[in-house]
Amino acid sequence: MRAIKLTDDIKYLHCEDEDGAHGVLILHSNDRPVRVAEVNDQSDFRFWFSAFAKTAESRKEIASV
């Protein structure tokens, strides 16, 4: 299992086993997980990364008000 920091708020845990490659995207806030999504293919990754990036941006905008 490998952990990859994609942004300040989003990390990806990559796993490979007999079923193939898969992973978990984690959205963090203050070093605590806010949302977690299972990723089984590139389509899942794109969908969840986009959703998490929008959520992270919204949280930053709200925090700056």
Helices and strands, number each (H, E), in the chain: 1, 4
Rounded average pLDDT over 49-63: 91
Per-residue pLDDT reduced to its tens digit, 2-52: 999 999 999 999 998 888 889 999 999 888 999 999 999 999 999 999 999
Provide the pLDDT confidence category of residue 59 given band limits of 50, 70 and 90. confident
Going by C-alpha positions, the residue among 62, 56, 57 that lies closest to residue 27 is 56
Rounded average pLDDT over 48-65: 90
Distances 8 to 13, 56, 62 between C-alpha atoms, Å? 15, 9, 17
Q: CA 14 to CA 31: how far, in whole Å?
A: 19
